[in-house]
Structure 1
């Protein structure tokens, strides 16, 4: 039986650097023998089906294939459609009442303890807020990510040391849920 996955590529196609054209990404995923391949936007979102492997082994396989093809490393997080659906359902903010640009999810490669973010004085950034989820951080930024002071603090290397992290806005999360439904 085949499982539907989303691949989240980190740091590609930003400012003309580390270019991974989506057509080439789709071709690469097909060459890896994945089925039902599709991409979303230019920022490194792909969905596919695979009957073998797990999130970590599929991510490692994709990272190696990207490095071989494009000549630079690309961190990848692979998540099942079921995980994405549960993540969306567990959102601690009223997503249906917000614009997609106001809500973001940072995906992590591993579970994150709340103590990691204890140094952040969350009250100082109100009305912005964040909450931790399953290998994810939800961020409510009413003025958008580009103007978020809290997002700047949460992205500091000291807070994220040892983690692979990549963020997506809520519109992208919802679309990936839809694309990975069996």
Structure 2
């Protein structure tokens, strides 16, 4: 079971909870897992999202492994600039590249900039991490995500052609994610 001995904290992106998302499936299948609750106000505010992540982390006793997706990865990177507790590791799946305009249907570049999402933090994370990159993600080019992984001091996992690794790309359950969480739990990440 991923995360034995540690609580898995799932950090969704800006679309919050999506029923057939890999995170939703993994959270249901992981005893004791917690998911950061959706915001009721200031939904586009990076500061409010990071505060919600911090509150969720604060409520967990013992070790934590973070499993973030899309803009959730950026929330983790922003939080890690001034961490309030120790984290065992993080799985950062298909981070969105908000430094470039996103496709139609996603928040506009100007709105993201105005709400504190830019620039994307580029400091090494203070915990082991795995960054999952897709070869055909409409929200971030592979080379950009590889650059984030390098800047964050994280191991890069090439997931191949998996789109944004969400239901729109044909992904619900994602067994590779569970294996990567096990790697973090077993500290087989390497930095």
Q: Name the TM-score, length of structure 2 as normaliser.
A: 0.29
Q: Name the TM-score, length of structure 1 as normaliser.
A: 0.30
